[in-house]
Amino acid sequence: MDISTLRGIFTALALIAFIGVWIWAWSGKRKRAFDEAANLPFADDQLDADSKEANDEP
């Protein structure tokens, strides 16, 4: 087995791993988790606004 064969095997394994991650990311089961993760930056804004309102009240 020479280096070219090893490179070919590595390339095939990398392609299989890439396709596996792609299928996992686009599966319908993960949609809710990804939607929640996409909205995480906006959750901090809401917490900041709520804490400012609480501090402004006498």
User: In 10 A of CB 54, how many CB atoms?
Assistant: 8
- Read off the pLDDT of each residue in 33-47 and give the average, rounded to a whole number: 82
Question: Is the confidence at residue 10, as pLDDT, over 90?
Answer: yes
In the chain, where are the structural domains located?
Answer: 3-56
Token pair of 34, please?
Answer: 């990804």
> What pLDDT score was predicted for residue 2?
94
| Sign, Cα dihedral of 19, 22, 26, 28 | positive
> What pLDDT score was predicted for residue 49?
62
- Read off the pLDDT of each residue in 26-52 and give the average, rounded to a whole number: 79
